[in-house]
Amino acid sequence: MQPDSTRRFVVDQRGGNVALDLFVVDQHLGSLLDATLAEAGVTAALYAVYSQLAQGPRTPGQLSETLGVRPTTLSGYLATMVGWGHATRSRNEVDGRSSVLALTEAGHAKVRECRPLMQRALKTLNAEIGSTDDVQAARAMIARVDDAIQVASRRLRPKQSL
């Protein structure tokens, strides 16, 4: 982390809490990445879907789980990508109730266009965080926070009646 940073918390005021801090960080990160990807005509959220499909075909459920995106939100991203001709949707041969999405060549070209933009943003962000060890420590802490959020979510979810 920056040694000259004097902030103790993201929102250092009465009523500040970890949820509000995370919300603000999410907004800042979204703004950074949206601005970075604007010249490619893609939002950060949409690029997250492209980056997953660039690794290979996925079901909507797999994408939703990996990215932590609600299915209804993901549906809009996928409709955009299919509409632009950047992804195809086909019947899932394993489970006929769902579909499998894959990037088209145009979708792969969009990923190739976006990748250097993202790499530049990540390189700059990582440099502001500090050393490679600092970046790894930040990622590990973020993973701990995400684990805590998921556990809290399961604990607070209403019990299903039998």
Residue 69 belongs to a domain with what CATH number? 1.10.10.10
Report the number of distinct structural domains present in the chain: 1
Within-domain flag for 27: no
Residue 123 lies in a domain: yes
pTM: 0.85
Give the torsion sign (CA, 122, 123, 129, 131).
positive
What 3-state class would DSSP assign to 161? coil
Q: 71 phi and psi, to 5 degrees?
A: -55, -40
Show pLDDT as tens, one digit a residue, over the chain (162 residues). Answer: 444 567 888 988 888 899 999 999 999 999 999 999 999 999 999 999 999 999 999 999 999 999 999 999 999 999 999 999 999 999 988 777 789 999 999 999 999 999 999 999 999 999 999 999 999 999 999 999 999 999 999 999 887 655
Is 3 within a domain?
A: no
Task: Give the chain's count of helices (H) and strands (E).
Answer: 6, 2
Q: Concatenated DSSP letters for 12-55? A: -STT--HHHHHHHHHHHHHHHHHHHHGGGT--HHHHHHHHHHTT
**Residue 21 falls inside a structural domain:** no
The parent domain of residue 84 ranges over: 34-130
- Domain-located, residue 139: no
